[in-house]
């Protein structure tokens, strides 16, 4: 998969997103007749979308082909409306248009992405026990976790600390396909987060390195990367089929942290007195679990140990 998918041409990224979204909208979705004969491609034709958005077919074609890189905000909003975009997708389209106008130069994050967490966040992770919790970077590197937060992702501790990344884990670690009951939903959410970041910083080294790796190693990632989906989930419930703790369902919340680094706190929860709460306690303490968080060096994690930086 070519690197041009996420670097070099902001106009190209804008055009590819528009084309992907155009393919998802049928004439019936926007009140147009299907017309006679079979369509050669799915979704709306270029001329149909141009008419709905109130722009010329020539202008829209230049946008989709990456040759028109400075559309006005009104044109961007008109295209978003014509394509029936939801709010996260509208924001992404605006980001892509702004990025195209700036020649794909980064314009939102002023600092290098943080690779560690504030000491206060370490204390917060400790205070959340027995709730599994971890902090991830903007590209979902695991920067810190409490014991349950790492044990919940079965096998993640087997990887060197610098390789512990949630996106890499769900696509490349075989256990992940079994661990998550709704694995397809999980991987789509991970790709959506990376796609969202690509809309504002397409050439960020932490993003391009991870995307290039996964494009080369995972056909599933390559398939979803082409979907240009940017709609993720910040809360809900996940059912796990854990090799050591059994099957259980936990609620979760993913919270954006202040500071502009893109870090997120992900915490799982269950009601006290429930079987799921008991599972959280067991994961936190390592009880009845054949797990070892300290593979480097090989020591057994003692219950009650403060979360480590990753």
- In this structure, the answer to whether residues 157 and 216 fall within a common structural domain is yes
Under 8 Å CB-to-CB from 174, ≥6 apart: which residues?
Answer: none
Q: With respect to residue 44, please indicate whether it lies within any of the assigned structural domains.
A: yes
Domain final residue, candidates 101, 135, 167: 101
Nearest CA among 95, 106, 309 for reference residue 205: 106
In a domain, 185, yes or no: yes
Q: Please, which contacts does 155-164 make with residues 24 or more away whose CB atoms are closer than 8 Å?
A: 157/291, 157/292, 157/293, 157/295, 158/295, 160/296, 161/296, 161/310, 164/310
DSSP-derived secondary structure for 77-115 = HHHHHHTT--HHHHHHHHHHHHHHHTTT---S--SPPPS
Tokens of 74: 């009104």
202 shares a domain with 279: yes
Asked if the model's pLDDT at residue 31 lies above 70, the reply is: yes
Q: Residues 111-141: pLDDT tens digits?
A: 567 788 989 999 999 999 999 999 999 999 9
Q: What CATH number should be reported for the domain holding residue 95? A: 1.10.260.40
Same domain, 123 and 97: no
Q: Residue 59 in contact with residue 50, Cβ under 8 Å? A: yes
Residue 107 in any domain: the answer is no
CA 303 centroid distance within chain: 32
- Spatial strand order of the sheet with 264-269 comes to 235-242, 246-256, 264-269, 133-136, 142-145, 308-309
pLDDT at 7 over 50: no
Domain that residue 55 falls in: 3-101
Does residue 146 share a domain with residue 30? no
What are the structure tokens assigned to 299, written together?
């020591």
- Residue ending a domain, choose from 101, 132, 158: 101
The pLDDT value recorded for residue 301 is 34
Q: Do 16 and 86 fall within a single domain?
A: yes
Q: pLDDT tens-digit profile of 264-295?
A: 999 999 999 999 999 999 999 987 664 444 43
Q: Are 153 and 167 in contact (CB under 8 A)?
A: no
pLDDT value for 291: 46
110: in domain = no
Q: Name beta bridge partners: 135.
A: 144, 265
pLDDT on residue 289 = 61
Q: Which pLDDT belongs to residue 199?
A: 87
Looking at the structure, tell me whether residues 135 and 246 fall in a common domain: yes
Cis bond before residue 128 (omega within 30° of 0): no
Give the SS3 label for residue 62.
helix
Q: Are residues 189 and 294 in the same domain?
A: yes
- 111 belongs to a structural domain: no
Same domain, 231 and 277: yes
Number of domains in the chain: 2
Domain boundary residue among 50, 71, 101?
A: 101
pLDDT score of 99? 85
CATH number of the domain that 193 lies in? 3.30.450.180
H or E stretch including 267? strand 264-269
Tens of pLDDT, residue by residue over 12-30, are 889 999 999 999 999 999 9
Local confidence band at 38 (pLDDT 50, 70, 90 cut-offs): confident
Q: Tens digit of pLDDT for each residue in 296-310?
A: 433 333 333 444 444
pLDDT at 294: 43
Co-location of 37 and 128 in the same domain: no
The pLDDT, as a whole number, for residue 78 is 97
Tens of pLDDT, residue by residue over 43-88, are: 999 999 999 999 999 999 999 998 888 899 999 999 999 999 999 9
Give the tens place of pLDDT for each residue, 177-204. Answer: 999 999 999 999 999 999 999 988 888 9
Distance linking the first and last C-alpha atoms of the chain: 30
Q: Is the pTM of this model over 0.85?
A: no
Residue 106 lies in a domain: no
In angstroms, rounded to a whole number, what is the distance separating the alpha carbons of residues 86 and 261? 25
> Is residue 304 domain-shared with residue 196, that is, in the same domain?
yes
| Same-domain check for residues 86 and 133 | no
């Amino acid at each position: 998969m070519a690197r041009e998918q996420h670097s070099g041409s902001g106009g190209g990224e804008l055009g590819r997103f528009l084309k992907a979204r155009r393919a998802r909208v049928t004439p019936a979705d926007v009140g147009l007749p299907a017309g006679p004969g079979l369509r050669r491609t799915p979704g709306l034709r270029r001329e149909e979308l141009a008419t709905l958005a109130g722009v010329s077919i020539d202008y829209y074609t230049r946008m989709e082909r990456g040759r028109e890189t400075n559309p006005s905000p009104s044109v961007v909003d008109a295209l978003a409306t014509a394509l029936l975009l939801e709010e996260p997708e509208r924001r992404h389209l605006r980001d892509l248009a702004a990025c195209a106008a700036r020649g794909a130069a980064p314009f939102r994050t002023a600092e290098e992405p943080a690779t560690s967490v504030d000491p206060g966040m370490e204390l917060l992770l400790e205070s959340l026990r027995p709730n599994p919790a971890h902090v991830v970077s903007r590209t979902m590197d695991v920067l810190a976790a409490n014991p349950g937060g790492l044990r919940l992702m079965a096998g993640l501790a087997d990887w060197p600390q610098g390789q512990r990344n949630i996106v890499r884990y769900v696509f490349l670690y075989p256990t992940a396909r079994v661990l998550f009951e709704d694995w397809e939903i999980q991987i789509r959410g991970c790709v959506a987060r990376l796609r969202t970041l690509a809309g504002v910083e397409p050439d960020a080294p932490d993003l391009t390195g991870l995307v290039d790796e996964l494009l080369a190693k995972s056909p599933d990632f390559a398939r979803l990367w082409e979907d240009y989906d940017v709609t993720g989930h910040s809360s809900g419930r996940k059912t796990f089929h854990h090799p050591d703790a059994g099957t259980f369902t936990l609620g979760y919340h993913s919270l954006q942290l202040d500071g502009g680094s893109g870090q997120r706190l992900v915490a799982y929860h269950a009601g006290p007195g429930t079987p799921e709460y008991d599972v959280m306690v067991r994961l936190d303490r390592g009880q009845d679990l054949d797990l070892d968080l300290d593979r480097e060096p090989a020591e057994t994690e003692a219950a009650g140990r403060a979360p480590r930086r990753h």
